A = this chain, B = another copy of it.
Amino acid sequence: MNPATPFTSESDNISVLLQAFERGGSFFLMGHIDPDGDCLGALAGLSNLLAGAGGDNEIIVYEEIPKKFELAFSGLKTGVSLYDEDIPLEDCDALIALDCSDIDRLKPARDRLERIREQSGRPQLINIDHHEDNSHFGNINLVVPSAAATGEIILDLAEKAGLEIDFSAARALALAILADTGFFRYSNTSRRVIEKVLRLMDEGVDLYEINRSLYASHRPGVIQLLGRALTSLRTAAGGKIAYLKLRNIDYQLTGTGPEDREGFVNYARDIDGVEVGLIFSEEEEGIKVSFRSNEYLRVNDIAGKFGGGGHPRAAGCLLDCDLDKAVETIIAEVEKHV
Which A residues fall within an 8 A CB radius of B? 67, 183-187, 189, 191, 194-195, 197-198, 201, 207-208, 211-212, 215-220, 223-224, 226-233, 235, 239, 242, 267-272, 294
Q: List 28 A-B contacts (CB under 8 A).
A: A183-B183, A183-B184, A183-B185, A184-B184, A185-B207, A185-B215, A186-B211, A194-B197, A195-B198, A212-B294, A215-B270, A216-B270, A217-B271, A218-B267, A220-B233, A220-B242, A220-B271, A223-B267, A223-B268, A223-B271, A224-B230, A226-B227, A226-B230, A226-B267, A227-B229, A227-B231, A227-B232, A227-B233
Residues of chain B contacted by A226 (CB below 8 angstroms): 227, 230, 267
Q: Could you say which of B184, B198, B208, B242 contacts A187, with CB atoms under 8 Å apart?
A: B208
Q: Is A198 touching B208 in the complex (CB atoms < 8 A)?
A: no
**Distance between Cα atoms of A196 and B135 in the complex (Å):** 40
**Distance between Cα atoms of A239 and B218 in the complex (Å):** 12
Q: Could you say which of B201, B235, B270, B294 contacts A191, with CB atoms under 8 Å apart?
A: B201
CB distance from A142 to the nearest CB of B (A): 26
Q: Is A233 touching B228 in the complex (CB atoms < 8 A)?
A: no
Ranked nearest first, the 5 interchain pairs of A and B with the lowest CB-CB distance are A227-B230, A227-B231, A216-B270, A185-B211, A217-B272
Residues of chain B contacted by A270 (CB below 8 angstroms): 215-218
**Distance between Cα atoms of A294 and B218 in the complex (Å):** 14
- Most chain B Cβ neighbours within 10 Å, of A186, A194, A215: A194
Residues of chain B contacted by A194 (CB below 8 angstroms): 194, 197-198, 201
Residues of chain B contacted by A268 (CB below 8 angstroms): 223
**Distance between Cα atoms of A80 and B223 in the complex (Å):** 39
Residues of chain B contacted by A242 (CB below 8 angstroms): 220, 223
Residues of chain B contacted by A184 (CB below 8 angstroms): 183-184, 207
CB distance from A146 to the nearest CB of B (A): 16
**Distance between Cα atoms of A215 and B187 in the complex (Å):** 13
Residues of chain B contacted by A228 (CB below 8 angstroms): 227, 231
Residues of chain B contacted by A230 (CB below 8 angstroms): 223-224, 226-227, 230
Residues of chain B contacted by A227 (CB below 8 angstroms): 226-233
Q: Could you say which of B211, B219, B231 contacts A272, with CB atoms under 8 Å apart?
A: B219
Q: Is B183 touching A218 in the complex (CB atoms < 8 A)?
A: no
